[in-house]
Amino acid sequence: MTEPSFLGEFSQGNGQLAVENPATGEVIARIKSYDLDEIRALIETADRARHAWAARTAKDRANILRGWFNLVMQNQSALAELVTAECGKPLAESMGEVAYGAAFIEWFAEEAKRTYGETVPSFAPDKRILTIKQPVGTCAAITPWNFPIAMVTRKVAPALAAGCSIILKPAELTPLSALALEQLALEAGVPPEIFKVVPVTDPKPVGELFCSDPLIRKLSFTGSTAVGKILMRQSAQNVTKLSLELGGNAPFIVFDDADIDSAIEGAIASKFRNAGQTCVCANRFLVQQGVAAEFTAKLADRVGALKVAAGTEAGSQIGPLINRPGHDKVARLVSDALERGAKAAVGGAASDKGTLFYQPTVLTGVQSDMEIVSTEVFGPVAPIMTFADESEAIALANDTPYGLAAYFYTRDIGRAWRVMEALEYGMVAVNDGILSSEVAPFGGIKQSGLGREGSKHGIDEYLELKYCLMSGLA
Ligand code: ADP
């Protein structure tokens, strides 16, 4: 079977939403932007159709999802081409993202069959108690541009597995991957009314509609904390259920007793994936004084050798930043740190590879009051601070309103447990720089969000627990 070129297909359109390739600035597609009346009608259709979808057996839904997973993997290269074209990441990373995104479909195809209820020992002889799990109903999702495949499947697959219908608004910058996923879902047998992707040029009124339409029972959002707070306020009107995966400020701690070479590998993987544009990217490096010189020198060596190039170029490791505001924010944070006394061990300026490229950078002499420490950088910049002892490391790491991911390196087993328990984060990796997987619960605490995605817990976000009491049995 030959793979279709989604890019070729989407480039034919002439809608109002223009999609640009961040590596070149070229418009690669003009697609339809849905208006609010159309979206309202699609919500009504989805809500009517959901009952029949929920009434199908779990195995039936699982088989359809399994078919969708297979189609996504059969089209891995074509989808990866699309991801790199609209989001900029190196092609090898895009291939990885498609496989990662597909894994959520596979996982939730399996989990569809395991939404068990329970029986509960009764409080009276003539009564029996049981619980059942039922689909929440019609759901809405809003996704970001940095993982245009995986952020979609992470929401849509559990919703469909649970027996819900779902309307998804993708990011304006990267709607093509979501549309391609929708095409493949339909091909696999997902009824068209049950899953609908609605790109728009202006997200604000759609967020308002999702929160005000009483047919929408659940909204799942991944994006900035600022927008998450807006949606949380708006969702109060109907008490719409919410899952929020918001910003982070991940610490990456290296203790004196760490395996430094392994910490360097982890640092590169954690910090420089997608040019530093992931919500779990290491945002601040906290290095114990005794190993700071060695860690910094080795990291600067590796970072200086990273290949900056368009994602389609062979061997590219750092692609462009997503857009002008994203690029300017990184440049501003670095300039501010440099002006206030930090030093660039490598990088520290825009790259000459193209207008949105930034040099992979390592900053030393960073202080906790610099903006780069408290702000999510979303760029290929590693700011290094030093600390004296374990308690200082924990205090610095927890000194943030965010609580998504944290990383630390140590070979002391007691310290591993102490620090893992002390870090106020939803996810902690010890001696590793990558922790995302469909089998593990992804999510944050504090202002990083509500709810978990992936794992056996991810489907619960789309299920209601009903308590059933049966009485009069005496
Ligand atoms: P980022 O900084 O990653 O672009 P955003 O939170 O701005 O983060 O965007 C994430 C998603 O939220 C995108 O799909 C975007 O269209 C959407 N979005 C932005 N503003 C709003 C809003 N006011 N209401 C609803 N969705 C919004």
Q: What is the pLDDT of residues 421-444, one digit of tens each?
A: 999 999 999 999 999 999 999 999
| 382 shares its domain with 362 | yes
Same domain, 396 and 305: yes
Q: Check whether residue 285 and residue 374 sit in a common domain.
A: yes
The interaxial angle of helices 413-422 and 390-398, nearest 10 deg, is 30
Q: Report yes or no on 426 lying in a domain.
A: yes
Residues 289 and 179 in one domain: no
2 found inside a domain: no
443 in any annotated domain: no
Amino acid 1: pLDDT? 42
Same domain, 262 and 377: yes
Do 242 and 346 share a domain, yes or no?
Answer: no
Residue-level pLDDT at 57: 98
Number of domains, the chain? 2
Q: What is the CATH number of the domain that holds 280?
A: 3.40.309.10
Q: Write down the mean pLDDT value for the chain.
A: 97
In the block, which residue shows the tokens 């374990």?
A: 390
Residue 208 Cα to ligand 1 midpoint, Å, equals: 12
Q: Which amino acid is at 464?
A: E
In a domain, 118, yes or no: yes
Residues lining ligand 1, judged by CB closer than 6 Å?
A: 142-144, 171-172, 203-204, 207, 223-224, 227, 230
Cα separation of 135 and 461, whole Å? Answer: 9
- 98 and 190 housed in the same domain: yes
* Cα–Cα nearest to 184, from 72, 32, 62: 72
- Tell me, yes or no, whether 283 and 317 share the same domain: yes
Close Cβ partners of 131 (under 8 Å, ≥ 6 residues apart): 117, 118, 120, 465, 466, 467, 468
The β-bridge partners of 227 are none
The pLDDT of residue 4: 63
Q: In which domain, by residue range, is 368 found?
A: 250-437
Taking 50 as the pLDDT cut, the residues of the chain under it are 1-2
> What is the predicted pLDDT for the residue at 5?
87
Residue whose CA is at the smallest distance from ligand 1 atom 14? 171
192 and 73 within one domain: yes
Task: Return all residues near 114 (Cβ < 8 A) that are at least 6 apart.
Answer: 456
Q: Where in the sequence numbering do the catalytic residues fall?
A: 245, 279
22-59 exposure pattern, b = at least 16 Cβ within 10 A, e = fewer = bbbeeebbbbbbbeeeebeebbebbbebbeebbeeebe
- Rounded CA-CA distance 199/91 in Å is 24
In a domain, 473, yes or no: no
**Is 46 found in the same domain as 157?**
yes
CATH number at residue 149: 3.40.605.10
Residue 91, domain member (yes or no): yes
Q: Do 240 and 272 reside in the same domain of the chain?
A: no
- Burial, 391: exposed, middle or buried (Cβ in 10 Å; 0-12, 13-18, 19+)? exposed
Report the chain's terminal Cα–Cα distance, integer Å: 64
Residues 417 and 371 in one domain: yes
CA of 283 to the centre of ligand 1 (A): 21
* Nearest Cα residue to atom 27 of ligand 1: 203
Residue 258 lies in a domain: yes
State pTM to two decimals.
0.97
**What is the CA(145)–ligand 1 centre distance, in A?**
9
Instruction: Report whether 308 contacts 317 (CB < 8 A).
Output: yes
Q: Determine the angle formed by the axes of helices 150-162 and 91-111, rounding to 10 degrees.
A: 10
- Residue 181 falls within a domain, yes or no? yes
Give the pLDDT of residue 474.
82
